[in-house]
Amino acid sequence: AQSVTQLDSQVPVFEEAPVELRCNYSSSVSVYLFWYVQYPNQGLQLLLKYLSGSTLVESINGFEAEFNKSQTSFHLRKPSVHISDTAEYFCAVRNTGGFKTIFGAGTRLFVKA
Amino acid sequence: DTGVSQDPRHKITKRGQNVTFRCDPISEHNRLYWYRQTLGQGPEFLTYFQNEAQLEKSRLLSDRFSAERPKGSFSTLEIQRTEQGDSAMYLCASSLGAQLAGLEEQYFGPGTRLTVT
């Protein structure tokens, strides 16, 4: 069985400050890892994913996440946030041979001016 | 816009009534998923279709829940004898199956918010 723990339910941060949203997972098999973003009143959107290869993955809007197998973590970071990054962020895992995606409870990022 | 669409977006019903939701996936996608999201939680997997075949169902899907994808295109999720605990956002997602299972991106619809009074 797999599980995902997002260690912070809410993260308030000032605009242009760096941010890290923490995610730990548990699995007995190989997994793919994902971060999804949900803006207010919108559907879930894939932000970035780790499938294999380089442990550092990046999104087009400046977020990055690093897969750490020994610590079973996949933390999301951005060096400088914008007001428009205010949203809920979900970390998720999926078996390398499966279809079911297991989501964490989410972290609400609130960027203040 | 050719994304995943869901109908209705909101549904308010009285306890004991039946409700049905519809999901239209991206047209060429052969895989379709239903998830449920309650307040303060991430989405929870309910069921999965490959074409018209329902291949996996979560234990969360009680006998009151049934899902179909009759022609391998749109899907419906029906809840019979609704209970207040069924109040949630019901999300649909679709994907185009890759050779290596699990690799493909799942595209989510906007969801149907169900409120049972």
DSSP for A19-59?
A: EEE-EEEE-SS-EEEEEEEE-TTS--EEEEEE-SS-SEEE-
Residue B100: its pLDDT value, please?
60
Q: Do A43 and B101 touch (CB under 8 A)?
A: no
Cα A15 to Cα A84: distance, rounded to the nearest angstrom: 10
Cα B22 to Cα A26: distance, rounded to the nearest angstrom: 33
User: Parallel, antiparallel, or unpaired for β B10-13 and B112-116?
Assistant: parallel
Confidence grade of residue B68 (pLDDT, cut at 50, 70, 90)? very high
Confidence grade of residue B98 (pLDDT, cut at 50, 70, 90)? low
Confidence grade of residue A75 (pLDDT, cut at 50, 70, 90)? very high
Q: Do A99 and B41 touch (CB under 8 A)?
A: no
Segment B46-61 mean pLDDT: 89
- Whether the per-residue pLDDT at A100 is higher than 90: the answer is no
| Nearest-CB residue to B103 (from A32, A90, A100) | A32
Buried b vs exposed e over B16-39: b needs ≥16 C-beta within 10 Å? eeebebebbbbeebbbbbbbbbee
Cα A73 to Cα B35: distance, rounded to the nearest angstrom: 24
Cα B100 to Cα B29: distance, rounded to the nearest angstrom: 15
Q: Do B43 and A44 touch (CB under 8 A)?
A: yes
Candidates A27, A44, A103: best to mutate against B (most CBs of B within 10 A) is A44
Confidence grade of residue A22 (pLDDT, cut at 50, 70, 90)? very high
Tell me the nearest-neighbour CA distance from A55 into chain B, angstroms: 16
Using alpha carbons, list the distances in angstroms from residue B76 to A2, A74, B15, B91, B110: 28, 34, 20, 12, 15
| Nearest-CB residue to B110 (from A4, A43, A46) | A43
Segment A62-74 mean pLDDT: 91
What is the pLDDT of chain A when averaged over all its residues?
91
Segment B2-15 mean pLDDT: 94
Query: Which residue type, as a one-letter code, is found at position A88?
Result: E
Cβ-based contacts of A94 with chain B (< 8 Å): 102
Confidence grade of residue A57 (pLDDT, cut at 50, 70, 90)? confident
Segment A43-56 mean pLDDT: 84
Segment B72-83 mean pLDDT: 95
Candidates A37, A48, A101: best to mutate against B (most CBs of B within 10 A) is A101
Confidence grade of residue B101 (pLDDT, cut at 50, 70, 90)? low
